[in-house]
Structure 1
Amino acid sequence: MPLLDMSIPQLNNYRGRNPRPKDFDQYWENALQELDQIDPEVTFEKADFQTSYAECQHLYFNSVNGARIYAKYVSPIQPKATGQAILLFHGYGGQSHEWTEMLKFAAAGASVFFLDVRGQAGRSEDPGGVKGNTLRGHIIRGIESGSSALFYRSVFLDTVQLARVAQSFPDIDPTRILTSGWSQGGALALVCAALVPEIEKVATVYPFLSDYQRVWEMDCVNDAYKELKEYFRIYDPQHQQEAHFFQTLGYIDIQHLSNRIKAKVMMGTGLMDSSCPPSTQFTIYNKLTCDKRMKIFPDFGHEVLPGMKDHIYQFLFCE
């Protein structure tokens, strides 16, 4: 079998390279306490797109740093509702998908929420207000202003606020919420479950935002992780702050959140993935202490994984 990364035995034992800050747990407890003080002030707008069995709405809520966050919301019309809800997250730089892609979940009786990540292609606000680069590079956004200003800290908290909004709806069982996504979306599906312990199941495919130092050492910094190289070229060409840089990114490294997840997890991984290298995905999986399973595609990279969408649907709604 061709190899891009480690062998399967090595992957099964890999525990990550990027350092975990000593105050990591306190950092996220403080972040959640900050979110506790924010009234989401949820509002709805009826969408032009509608169906006979589900209502489609634009949903807005408040989150950290004064942002107004957007999500598509599809609710099954009674008596189809089961009390389940699924939170969906998109890939890096993208936006929530079309209504029709959400309807298969509504047809199963679940309420469906599809988040627009702030500052990317959708409708969510990104108030900004940090030092340094803002042209691109969300992993490094805010790092010059300190760990509490990291862009993904806010995004991670947005996923929590969305889950809390869903849990507050009278037709949704707060213990029957599912999360799912691919790449950045796969990372956020895991993050949401780590920070909201009531999440029931997570379906994640080649998750992004993991083990940044490993990505750097593999020189896989030409696609989604390109900004790691750009940071050193622009701000630290002699790597004098390299240790501090990776230590700070450790606060938004999802491998360090994995052990908090109580949900059942299914992960899909392609062993030829040069965008999110397999080892950076396996370190997440290896640190999960919950009920877990992995679907491995030896000859596939960061692309469509044949049959994976069917696996996800069956895992989330048929088990």
Structure 2
Amino acid sequence: MPLIDMPLEKLHTYQGRNPRPEDFDTYWARALTEMRSVDPAVELVPSSFTVPVADCFDLYFTGVRGARVHAKYVRPKNVTEPHPAILQFHGYTGNAGDWTDKLAYASLGYSVVAMDCRGQGGDSEDVGGVKGTTHKGHIIRGLDDHPDNLLFRHIFLDTAQLASIVMNFPEVDENRVGVMGGSQGGALTIACAALEPSIKRLAPLYPFLSDYKRVWEMDLAAGAYEELKTYFRSFDPQHLREDEIFTNLGYIDIQFLANRIRGEVLMAVGLMDQICPPSTQFAAYNKITAPKRLEIYPDFGHEHLPGFADKITSFMLGL
């Protein structure tokens, strides 16, 4: 088959190139302690969008550093017993999408929650307050500050906090919660299930935010990863700080969170993906020790993968 990355047999054993910070576990323990100290002040506001089969709400909560985070919450009508819930995360720069996107799962008796990432295309706040450049994207936001101020740290924590909020809704069965998303949403799916290991099932599609150094070495720091190249060109043109920079990016590298996952995993990868190279996705997948299955699409890139949405639905019906 044509290749843009390593042969498939090597992908199955690849363990990643980006350095893992020595204090990675301490870093995330400290982050979770901060998250748990925040009063989320959850607010549900009925939406003007109404349908016969579900109740729709704008959900707001306070995340770390005081940001008000927004999500769309769709709850099936006339379901009296605690039922499963699905959390959905969107692609880079996007938003939670239309209400209609959530109705398929609601029609199956599932509540659905779709989060707007702070500072991107939805209604969640970006409270700022970071030192250094913010040019070109969120991966590098906070890279010139203390690692605790990396923006994706806060976004990862938002996913876990939202999961905890949803699990505590009286209408939701806390033991039957699934998570899904593609690209950035795939990365957040992995981060959410790692930081809230009670997540029962997760379906990441070609996850972003993995193995940054590999992306750069493949000369694919373009498109979604363009900010890596832009950062080096502007702030470290001779790569004198290369080790330091990639190590700091390691705090928000999903491959190092993957081994915390306890839920069952269904993941898909396109072997012609030049946005999120296959090896970077395998670096995360290969570290998952929970039950897992990988669907491989040899001729597809970072695009619609035929049939995978149906596979996710069948998978989530097992909640």
**Following the alignment from structure 1 to structure 2, what is the Cα–Cα distance between the partners of residues 255 and 288?**
9
CA shift for structure 1 position 48: 1.1
**Following the alignment from structure 1 to structure 2, what is the Cα–Cα distance between the partners of residues 134 and 258?**
27
Instruction: Tell me if structure 2 keeps the 8 A contact 1:80–1:109.
Output: no
Aligned 1:217-256 pairs, distance under 5 A: 217-256=217-256
**Following the alignment from structure 2 to structure 1, what is the Cα–Cα distance between the partners of residues 52 and 80?**
12
Aligned 1:181-220 pairs, distance under 5 A: 181-220=181-220
Instruction: Tell me if structure 2 keeps the 8 A contact 1:21–1:247.
Output: yes
**Following the alignment from structure 1 to structure 2, what is the Cα–Cα distance between the partners of residues 204 and 80?**
30
Q: What is the number of equivalent residue pairs in this alignment?
A: 319
* Structure 1 residue 169 corresponds to structure 2 residue 137: no
**Following the alignment from structure 2 to structure 1, what is the Cα–Cα distance between the partners of residues 260 and 86?**
20
1:53 alignment counterpart: 53
The unaligned stretches of length 5 or more in structure 1 are: none
Instruction: Tell me if structure 2 keeps the 8 A contact 1:17–1:214.
Output: yes
CA shift for structure 1 position 136: 2.6
**Following the alignment from structure 1 to structure 2, what is the Cα–Cα distance between the partners of residues 232 and 136?**
12
* Structure 1 residue 87 corresponds to structure 2 residue 87: yes
One-letter code of the match for 1:64? V
**1:91 and 1:138, CA in 2 relative to 1: closer, same or farther beyond 3 A?**
same
CA deviations on 1:57-95 (whole Å, 9 max, x unpaired) are 101000011100000000011237651011100000000
2:306 alignment counterpart: 306
CA deviations on 1:189-217 (whole Å, 9 max, x unpaired) are 11000000110000010000000000000
Instruction: Indicate the larger mover: 254-263 or 128-137.
Output: 128-137
Instruction: Tell me if structure 1 keeps the 8 A contact 2:135–2:227.
Output: no
**1:80 and 1:220, CA in 2 relative to 1: closer, same or farther beyond 3 A?**
farther
One-letter code of the match for 1:175? N
CA shift for structure 1 position 134: 2.3
TM-score (norm 2): 0.98
* Structure 1 residue 137 corresponds to structure 2 residue 140: no
TM-score (norm 1): 0.98
1:17 alignment counterpart: 17
- 1:197 match: secondary structure: coil
One-letter code of the match for 2:38? I
Give percent identity, aligned residues only: 54
Instruction: Tell me if structure 2 keeps the 8 A contact 1:81–1:111.
Output: no
CA deviations on 1:119-151 (whole Å, 9 max, x unpaired) are 001000000111222243100100101211101
- 1:268 match: secondary structure: strand
- 1:114 match: secondary structure: strand
2:128 alignment counterpart: 128
1:113 alignment counterpart: 113
- 1:214 match: secondary structure: helix
Instruction: Tell me if structure 1 keeps the 8 A contact 2:42–2:60.
Output: yes
**Following the alignment from structure 1 to structure 2, what is the Cα–Cα distance between the partners of residues 108 and 187?**
26
Instruction: Indicate the larger mover: 79-88 or 55-64.
Output: 79-88
Instruction: Tell me if structure 2 keeps the 8 A contact 1:81–1:110.
Output: no
1:62 alignment counterpart: 62
CA shift for structure 1 position 167: 1.2
**Following the alignment from structure 1 to structure 2, what is the Cα–Cα distance between the partners of residues 151 and 312?**
29
- 1:269 match: secondary structure: strand
**Following the alignment from structure 2 to structure 1, what is the Cα–Cα distance between the partners of residues 80 and 9?**
45
- 2:73 match: secondary structure: strand
Q: Runs of 4+ in structure 1 displaced over 4 angstroms? A: none
Instruction: Tell me if structure 1 keeps the 8 A contact 2:59–2:70.
Output: yes
CA deviations on 1:228-254 (whole Å, 9 max, x unpaired) are 100111100111100000000000000
- 2:87 match: secondary structure: strand
Instruction: Tell me if structure 2 keeps the 8 A contact 1:204–1:268.
Output: yes
Pairwise CA RMSD of aligned residues?
Answer: 1.0
One-letter code of the match for 1:83? H
1:146 alignment counterpart: 146
One-letter code of the match for 2:134? T
One-letter code of the match for 2:215? V
- 1:45 match: secondary structure: strand
**Following the alignment from structure 1 to structure 2, what is the Cα–Cα distance between the partners of residues 203 and 228?**
27
**Following the alignment from structure 2 to structure 1, what is the Cα–Cα distance between the partners of residues 132 and 79?**
52
